[in-house]
Amino acid sequence: MPSTTIDTVGNWINGRTATSDSPDATNVYRPATGEVTKRVPAGSRTDAEAAVAAAHRAFESWSATPPHIRARVMFAFRDRLLADIDDLAAIICDEHGKVLDDARGELQRGIEVVEFACGIPDLMKGEFTENVGTNVDGMSMRKPLGVVVGVVPFNFPAMVPMWMFPIALVCGNTFVLKPSEKVPTLALKMASMLADSGLPDGVFNVVQGGQTVVNALITDPRVEAVSFVGSTPIAEHIYRTATESGKRVQALGGAKNHLVVMPDADIDSAVNALMGSAFGSAGERCMAISVVVPIGDEVAQAVRDRLVERIAALRVGAGTEPDVEMGPLITREHRDRVISYLSAGVEDGAELVVDGRDRCDGPGFFLGASLFDHVTPEMRIYREEIFGPVLAMVRAESFEEALELVNDHEFGNGTALFTADGGTARTFISRVRAGMVGINVPIPVPMAFHSFGGWKRSLFGDHHIHGREGVRFYTRYKTATIRWPQGRSSAAEFVMPTAK
Amino acid sequence: MPSTTIDTVGNWINGRTATSDSPDATNVYRPATGEVTKRVPAGSRTDAEAAVAAAHRAFESWSATPPHIRARVMFAFRDRLLADIDDLAAIICDEHGKVLDDARGELQRGIEVVEFACGIPDLMKGEFTENVGTNVDGMSMRKPLGVVVGVVPFNFPAMVPMWMFPIALVCGNTFVLKPSEKVPTLALKMASMLADSGLPDGVFNVVQGGQTVVNALITDPRVEAVSFVGSTPIAEHIYRTATESGKRVQALGGAKNHLVVMPDADIDSAVNALMGSAFGSAGERCMAISVVVPIGDEVAQAVRDRLVERIAALRVGAGTEPDVEMGPLITREHRDRVISYLSAGVEDGAELVVDGRDRCDGPGFFLGASLFDHVTPEMRIYREEIFGPVLAMVRAESFEEALELVNDHEFGNGTALFTADGGTARTFISRVRAGMVGINVPIPVPMAFHSFGGWKRSLFGDHHIHGREGVRFYTRYKTATIRWPQGRSSAAEFVMPTAK
Amino acid sequence: MPSTTIDTVGNWINGRTATSDSPDATNVYRPATGEVTKRVPAGSRTDAEAAVAAAHRAFESWSATPPHIRARVMFAFRDRLLADIDDLAAIICDEHGKVLDDARGELQRGIEVVEFACGIPDLMKGEFTENVGTNVDGMSMRKPLGVVVGVVPFNFPAMVPMWMFPIALVCGNTFVLKPSEKVPTLALKMASMLADSGLPDGVFNVVQGGQTVVNALITDPRVEAVSFVGSTPIAEHIYRTATESGKRVQALGGAKNHLVVMPDADIDSAVNALMGSAFGSAGERCMAISVVVPIGDEVAQAVRDRLVERIAALRVGAGTEPDVEMGPLITREHRDRVISYLSAGVEDGAELVVDGRDRCDGPGFFLGASLFDHVTPEMRIYREEIFGPVLAMVRAESFEEALELVNDHEFGNGTALFTADGGTARTFISRVRAGMVGINVPIPVPMAFHSFGGWKRSLFGDHHIHGREGVRFYTRYKTATIRWPQGRSSAAEFVMPTAK
Amino acid sequence: MPSTTIDTVGNWINGRTATSDSPDATNVYRPATGEVTKRVPAGSRTDAEAAVAAAHRAFESWSATPPHIRARVMFAFRDRLLADIDDLAAIICDEHGKVLDDARGELQRGIEVVEFACGIPDLMKGEFTENVGTNVDGMSMRKPLGVVVGVVPFNFPAMVPMWMFPIALVCGNTFVLKPSEKVPTLALKMASMLADSGLPDGVFNVVQGGQTVVNALITDPRVEAVSFVGSTPIAEHIYRTATESGKRVQALGGAKNHLVVMPDADIDSAVNALMGSAFGSAGERCMAISVVVPIGDEVAQAVRDRLVERIAALRVGAGTEPDVEMGPLITREHRDRVISYLSAGVEDGAELVVDGRDRCDGPGFFLGASLFDHVTPEMRIYREEIFGPVLAMVRAESFEEALELVNDHEFGNGTALFTADGGTARTFISRVRAGMVGINVPIPVPMAFHSFGGWKRSLFGDHHIHGREGVRFYTRYKTATIRWPQGRSSAAEFVMPTAK
């Protein structure tokens, strides 16, 4: 394919498309075929500054707009998302590779946050105390921060940005989004849909690119807060760098989500759940299950047997084809990296029960589902996030041992327990050191009106994302104490004032 | 006074007094007389680690104690504080120098946070959604963080720690307090009162000392969060260092609080308010008014004339003497530093209308109240926090100019406006970039059930202190999504789950 | 006009139009011309029972639908309302007579409640306390009530029903609406729009008619709650009757809203506000200002002079004509009733400064704006709600006298104060015995995310309408206390269990 | 015992003891011995009016007292309750008959509400929306109602009043308490303790007596709200009468609480729970379990066998004696009434497995525990509340049948399910028509920061009692909409104002 036919995607600044001044660009692939479909600019500091400047200019007027008027942009945006959901899903499928139904599911979860954001006028309300002291009233309110930045990963081109900007915008902030350079298109699509929904120019901006852009954004003195979703090392870097320059940060990192199967669990349900949650979206989800912990060898054997059978029947192919269950990985490099874990697991002594490399033929970035058994906590395939269709079985003797496994892992994003027993479930929910817990639910992503986020090295910052946590993250607390003149002044108060 | 009679104060670790293993110590003075009354150990890393270890051990049991049982310790602690308020005030007066009524006022404000903390069992409640999906329920809860640390300044030996630990403890955390080495006693007093109130050993600990101790505490991997109140450079250091090691931080720094006097204000009230808020506690308050901004020269002259008259009548002396309105500064060094600002102001061209150096005689660390007029934004006495009894008048032509002054200052802690006009007050509250706003209230410290904190470089972190902000700071969000087995399993879900 | 051409409107039951079995019917007029445009059935007990039965059948399934799925019907309904807003406004204008812009305004305020209702999934969340006792958890949740009924007045054919059903429906209830027999069409329109928006059959129903229908609805044992808006005598009857059969009731009644003008007020603004709020919608609003209270004769004279001038210029005519400011009254009978108050006022000694009867010519139900001066509290025109374009001026000497007037009146719906003074406004807000207070706002209808309602005999019941008050009105509280088996049983607890 | 030695208890009005002007009086007994210990006046309308008048006078000042100052009375009251808990328990034991530990437990649960009330300053906070429209702000607040009345039953002389007045008082209301004439003393005790805790005169008042007093209180035009706990017929009468005169009412009535035992339940735990919850306090609790529903005959037989064994060992006697588990009934008349149910049950065909009449000897009002088996829904002993130590076993075949039983009963106060299965528990909590549900908890009284109340004919009114429901019940909603003058007036707004 001659390079002259390949377009380079642009930025979206101040309500219109803008061209990056960066001469460098990287390829965007169609993972199902390996073709280069577009190029994305590497981005520059001036690109970032232009976006921040636009957002900064737009802040005063947008933040002074009544909250319910801001919310109406989201009502309109929701309508457009629903109207275009098939087109948007096709873009996701094309650039990311996931199957169409999964892409629609992602959009649906994003729309739920948009719906939540429509209710923010109520949730932003401040507080008022009459007579906090005699004839003195106290108030508090939550004010938007200013310019806020979102830096997002490739695996959810629509949903993860929508965890951020709908809430940030309705709270009165202006926004700069830095999409993944692997999936640059959907952000631009959403930008123009927001504009069509009535969002004023400059309130939402998109800058394409890589590290240069990110570093420019997270150190710009006009930026007040940064939301990030990606891998733990980058999350930690973002958190450290942006907090160092005094910004508010929520940085969501990696995961190693365990699913524990109790002997009283419905094994068919559990295996069913494992298939979808380990191999759906080719395992490229921070909420994917990558470790299964059956309690006792009998459960382990039953789970293993059925998994082997199910994996054999798994339909791998292009996400656009009907009935396909698992698409390709995002890039050839990433597939190679996942494959290297298969070797590492074998070297470390795990049993590779099913080897997904059998399905690596063809130009697309495909890799079949893999299953390891007899994995132990020291192995790299247990300690590190693989982000591919690889499931590791760690056998445990008891519930307590399984709980300890989850709690001792560096990551604490999500986890699941399959059981029918109320007491076991309660103990797990209470004691497990993870941010999101599922009981007989393999991917316990909270609804939009609850909030998403992990514990330990899966999240850096005080606030989880979206829901009421998001409203608080994107607003700053202010109080007022008010006394009106009433008659004459008396002696000065040299002592600490206390309400009487 | 022979040094042999001077006691070195201890730490409080795991429910009892402990001796520091640090050989170094610094003097504690009685500011009203200049005498050395005690010595405080420099502190060591092992001191800090012992306290953290005790707190870490105590966490599991304390966090599993029902919230209302934890709250009952605060009910009992409140009773003891009220019973001993005069003794505690005397300690504050002795070590800090503030007048007795002011010390009692400080204690009273601290007690109000204790009272707020008694209501936390209600405020900690999580959320529950039945049927977040068909037959799926969603929950969220807030869990205590673990070991949390408080590092506090000299100016409120009782109140500032009580902004932190009552809330942290009732939320289920365990606590290590690092008091100011200038006022080490009250922390120990509160520690033993907490123990007498039924707090289990190890839940609250005190480590005396300086920088070594602080750095050990804020980098200890077992510490989950740090609350700090002090100067902006240290606040920023604490915030950067502790966030770098992944901790949650709220670091409250310096201030330069402006009081704006509108032409329609009651000038007597305003001057009265200025006297108390600029010179009360010798200006050593982060909520002290250090800048007065009269609108128009007529107002300026009226305010100036009355201030001169009032300052002349100001009663300066030991805080224990009856009718004294202003005590000494905390140390000789600090007084020298404040005095250096008087020279700097004159050099920079401000008019030193009243020079407080006239009252510097005697062995105590006294300094009279000073008033500058014709101060401008470039001057050091305007830009920097002096933390002494020095009031700077900056004349403005209009409300807009005054508002801009406040908004352009590096700090944004508190600010006040004196006016009778509803619209002017509303505009000020809405547009001023400061965390705490007073309307005809010079020191707008919010009540305990609202929250305290500034904006800009007056606060680093996402959360203001005490009130509901405190409850959220000291707890971490967790969600659970629950579906119970109901009949048979069906096809695996490879697509993003969305509730239907 | 031959009766054969006049259609009789129907009911809406179980998702489709239904014909009343009642033989009697009453006329529906076009107030601008006096023509009969439709007939509305008197309604029967069996009509009411059919609607309740449909709602009762629909409840189980609807209440088990996840809240956010229920909310999506409101998202879709909002879109349709916006799309059809001009057609809907034309219907309101035709049946009620108000001007088109006012009808659109009414729809807009209704849409705001629909928007609020979209956020209810968050607001319905219950509460959860882990370890309410050792290993015992406590939860609370809010469950929908069942079948709820709305009985609404003629003056807001769209807005008042939308204060009720959007909230009731998203909370999981099913609904029966009884519109005013003077404006029957819009309810049917909304019913079919709800069906088109995806609302299942039976969830929303409409029964036309009068007293027979109302009494059947409010005593039906399957009905759990009644929302009513109308006159005070009927509100009181509804409240007594429905509470007697154990139902939850919110019954909003009449009003006599005072607007107090302080000497420091902007008189032009105040007069402007009075024109719109006294004569807009021909005074047929429960939030209309019907009493103006100037403080001091100087203010009184200024207000009076400008009102006379403005009333002379007031454009009265059919609501469909461009630039018309005030339309006709609802019926000839109602106009006669309003006119009778003009006579009564004169008889009681008030000065009829402007007599609106001059504009009563023609077949439409027009009446010009009237102004009384020197009205006193004993007069009927002061004590009773006229519900027409009649403004009474009561002169007061002082703020305190004005406040007492408002507080002593039987009604306490809304009230307004015009002033620039913060302290006066604060005192008014705090001490006035009325549910809705405006400061320089003549019609202080709260936004949808606050709640609407009066005090004293303007509202019977515990809950104001819409907003969070609405969410609570339409849901019932349930708690659960949960302990899972843990080891062995011990001695029976004969004493009152207390958490330890 | 000569009548001259028997004192007649007084009222408490306006901060001091007052003598009833009623000539009639009834006996107060010591149930354990049958002795008359005091007499209580029948009470008069003037008694009631005097109390209401005192409360009415006290309202203005009390309601204007800052909330946290009002709360401090509760802090002090709590201390006194804890200090005197043994003396207070002895009074309860003497007049009511329950065992001392149970009386202390009752006091403890009451103290928990007092503790909750200490946190009300935070929970009363209103709401504030800046820019509800352009330059228009919206606020809401909750204001105290005025004089509120509590009418309470004999079975919890301390706890039930404390469900009411601590919350009512801190919310700013003044209170009139009408105790049960069978247990008049504790109310007076609490009144004087409140006075000693700093409550101003008139804020809390007690009127002794019966129906005359109640009817005077609930129809007095100065009374704004009534809280009632008692039997369903009286609750319904109170609700109807007080709502008829426009008051806010919460009237809690009778109960017939079912405990369902699933086959997977721990039978020992269930039986243990049944013993305490059916026979504790001699069954005179609205949360007593009076019906046990085992699922399947095997479970039924096991439960029955162990109950028979345990009842045989039950220690019945005076509550002051050590180790006694069950005391006497409240009066001879009440015991006769309970005994009549034993006959009725046998007549209706139930099997009286254990007959408690064996323990009726002696002068005290003792009655042993009774157990019926094979009870069916038509029997009087199933339909009616017996309020004595009588447990009815209704055998069910399935969970669904048991659930239907609970749901079909007229009452819906509390209910419990014993199971280990998470899904069964979830279904029960979700679908059962009762206000308070226990899972493996027989008496699911919610903690004070949740709220107490039943469904169906167990509660009349919109609000459950105590907790946040209590705060809302005792406060009335008010909104303010505020716009300050800004430049010039424009055209009058004749159309419905909508925020832009």
Residue of chain C nearest A423, judged by CA positions? C484
Q: Look over chain D and give the mean of its residue pLDDT values, rounded to a whole number.
A: 95
Whether residues D361 and D248 share a domain: the answer is no
Whether residues D299 and D216 share a domain: the answer is no
Which of B68, B127, B129 to mutate to test binding with chain C, by most C CBs within 10 Å of its CB?
A: B129
pLDDT of A367 over the 90 cut: yes
Return the CATH number at B97.
3.40.605.10
Retrieve residue B171's tokens: 């939320």
Which of A430, A481, A488 to mutate to test binding with chain B, by most B CBs within 10 Å of its CB?
A: A481
Query: pLDDT confidence of A1, banded at 50, 70, 90?
Result: very low
Mean pLDDT of B359-379: 95
What is the Cα–Cα distance from C443 to C278, expressed in whole angstroms?
10
Q: Is residue B149 part of a domain?
A: yes
Query: Are D148 and D470 contacting, i.e. CB atoms less than 8 angstroms apart?
Result: no
Whether residues B267 and B248 share a domain: the answer is no
Residue showing tokens 């059959």: C201
Q: How many domains does chain D have?
A: 2
C141 lies within 8 A of chain B by CB: yes
Mean pLDDT of D116-145: 96
Mean pLDDT of A256-284: 96
Q: Mind listing the pLDDT tens digit for each residue in B398-424?
A: 999 999 999 999 999 999 999 999 999
Query: pLDDT confidence of C498, banded at 50, 70, 90?
Result: low
pLDDT of A360 over the 90 cut: no
pTM: 0.96
CB-CB under 8 Å, B101 with A435: no
pLDDT of D500 over the 90 cut: no
Mean pLDDT of C208-227: 97
pLDDT of A489 over the 60 cut: no
Mean pLDDT of A221-235: 97
D125 lies within 8 A of chain B by CB: yes
Whether residues A229 and A328 share a domain: the answer is no
Identify which of C272, C451, C498 has the shortest CB distance to residue D140: C451
Residues of chain A with C-beta less than 8 angstroms from the C-beta of B482: 425, 438-441
Whether residues B315 and B374 share a domain: the answer is yes
Return the CATH number at A324.
3.40.309.10
Q: Is residue D370 part of a domain?
A: yes
CB-CB under 8 Å, A236 with B246: yes
Residue A59 identity (one-letter amino acid): F
What is the Cα–Cα distance from B385 to C200, expressed in whole angstroms?
65
Residue of chain C nearest D448, judged by CA positions? C132
Residues of chain B with C-beta less than 8 angstroms from the C-beta of A450: 127, 129, 132, 138-140, 479
pLDDT of residue A490: 42
Which residues have CB under 8 Å from A300's CB, separation 6+? A294, A373, A393, A395
Q: Is residue D488 part of a domain?
A: no
CB-CB under 8 Å, A450 with B479: yes
Percent of chain B whose predicted confidence (pLDDT) is above 90: 94
Retrieve residue D171's tokens: 């919310």
Whether residues A198 and A310 share a domain: the answer is no
Q: Is residue D345 part of a domain?
A: yes
Instruction: Indicate the helix (H) or strand (E) that contains C39.
Output: strand C35-41
CB-CB under 8 Å, A495 with B104: yes
pLDDT of A3 over the 60 cut: no
A430 lies within 8 A of chain C by CB: yes
pLDDT of residue C488: 35
How distant is the Cα of C207 from the closest Cα of chain B, in angstroms?
31
pLDDT of residue A454: 97
Strand boundaries in D245-329, DSSP class E? 248-252, 257-261, 289-294
Q: Mind listing the pLDDT tens digit for each residue in C161-177?
A: 999 999 999 999 999 99
Mean pLDDT of D363-370: 96
Q: How many CA atoms lie within 13 Å of A477's alpha carbon, on the beta-carbon side?
A: 25
pLDDT of residue A486: 73
Q: Is residue B370 part of a domain?
A: yes
pLDDT of residue D161: 98
- Range from A4-13, A37-46, B388-397 carrying the lowest mean pLDDT: A4-13
CB-CB under 8 Å, D72 with B122: no
Mean pLDDT of D223-250: 96
Backbone angles phi, psi at A284, to 5 degrees: -90, 55
Which residues have CB under 8 Å from C74's CB, separation 6+? C114, C117, C118, C166, C169, C170, C197
- Range from C266-270, C387-391, D494-498 carrying the lowest mean pLDDT: D494-498
pLDDT of residue B1: 45
Identify which of B66, B421, B425 has the shortest CB distance to residue C134: B66
What is the Cα–Cα distance from B120 to B73, expressed in whole angstroms?
12
Whether residues C324 and C234 share a domain: the answer is no
pLDDT of residue C337: 97
What is the Cα–Cα distance from D271 to C176, expressed in whole angstroms?
46
| Residue with the larger pLDDT of the pair D486 and C189 | C189
Q: Mind listing the pLDDT tens digit for each residue in B68-121?
A: 999 999 999 999 999 999 999 999 999 999 999 999 999 999 999 999 999 999
A139 lies within 8 A of chain D by CB: yes
Retrieve residue A373's tokens: 């058994």
Query: pLDDT confidence of B489, banded at 50, 70, 90?
Result: very low
DSSP string, A443-499: S-PPPTTS-B--EETTEESS--BSHHHHHHHTEEEEEEEEE---S---S---SPP--
Q: Is residue C192 part of a domain?
A: yes
Q: Mind listing the pLDDT tens digit for each residue in B253-268?
A: 999 999 999 999 999 9
How distant is the Cα of A406 from the closest Cα of chain B, in angstroms?
15
CB-CB under 8 Å, A132 with B276: no
Beta-bridged to residue C127, according to DSSP, are B127, C140
Positive or negative, the Cα torsion across C394, C395, C397, C398?
A: positive
Whether residues B221 and B262 share a domain: the answer is no
Query: pLDDT confidence of A345, banded at 50, 70, 90?
Result: very high
ipTM of model over 0.90:
yes
pLDDT of residue C229: 98
Q: Look over chain B and give the mean of its residue pLDDT values, rounded to a whole number.
A: 95
CB-CB under 8 Å, D460 with C246: yes
Closest by alpha carbon to B254, among B286, B292, B288? Answer: B286
Query: pLDDT confidence of A339, banded at 50, 70, 90?
Result: very high
Q: Is residue C406 part of a domain?
A: yes
Positive or negative, the Cα torsion across A97, A102, A106, A111?
A: positive
Q: Is residue B289 part of a domain?
A: yes
Query: pLDDT confidence of C53, banded at 50, 70, 90?
Result: very high
Mean pLDDT of B55-77: 98
Percent of chain C whose predicted confidence (pLDDT) is above 70: 96
| Residue with the larger pLDDT of the pair B134 and D175 | D175
What is the Cα–Cα distance from C441 to C274, expressed in whole angstroms?
10
Structural domain that includes position D66: 11-253+458-479
Give residues 173 to 212 of A whose Cβ lies within 8 Å of D.
none
DSSP state of A364: S
Residues of chain A with C-beta less than 8 angstroms from the C-beta of B439: 480-484
Pairs across B and C, CB distance < 8 A: 77
Mean pLDDT of D85-100: 97
pLDDT of D184 over the 80 cut: yes
Retrieve residue C130's tokens: 């882990």
Q: Mind listing the pLDDT tens digit for each residue in C293-351?
A: 999 999 999 999 999 999 999 999 999 998 999 999 999 999 999 999 999 999 999 99
Residue D53 identity (one-letter amino acid): A
Residues of chain D with C-beta less than 8 angstroms from the C-beta of C132: 446-447, 450
Residues of chain C with C-beta less than 8 angstroms from the C-beta of D273: 492-493
Query: pLDDT confidence of D1, banded at 50, 70, 90?
Result: very low
Q: Look over chain A and give the mean of its residue pLDDT values, rounded to a whole number.
A: 95
Query: Are D32 and D363 contacting, i.e. CB atoms less than 8 angstroms apart?
Result: no
A2 lies within 8 A of chain D by CB: no
Whether residues B130 and B103 share a domain: the answer is yes
CB-CB under 8 Å, C124 with B129: yes
Closest by alpha carbon to C275, among C355, C410, C369, C342? Answer: C369
CB-CB under 8 Å, B118 with D426: no
Residues of chain B with C-beta less than 8 angstroms from the C-beta of A271: 489
Percent of chain C whose predicted confidence (pLDDT) is above 90: 94
Positive or negative, the Cα torsion across B96, B101, B102, B108?
A: positive
Residues of chain A with C-beta less than 8 angstroms from the C-beta of D425: 422
B311 lies within 8 A of chain A by CB: no
pLDDT of residue A469: 97
Q: Mind listing the pLDDT tens digit for each residue in D334-348?
A: 999 999 999 999 999
Query: pLDDT confidence of A359, banded at 50, 70, 90?
Result: confident
Q: Mind listing the pLDDT tens digit for each residue in D367-412?
A: 999 999 999 999 999 999 999 999 999 999 999 999 999 999 999 9
Whether residues A249 and A291 share a domain: the answer is no
- Residues of C forming the active site: 286
pLDDT of residue B72: 98
Whether residues D306 and D203 share a domain: the answer is no
Alpha helices by DSSP H, D171-296: 185-196, 211-219, 232-244, 267-279
B426 lies within 8 A of chain D by CB: yes
Whether residues C37 and C164 share a domain: the answer is yes
Q: What separation in angstroms does the CA of B374 have from each of B276, B350, B356?
A: 21, 5, 17
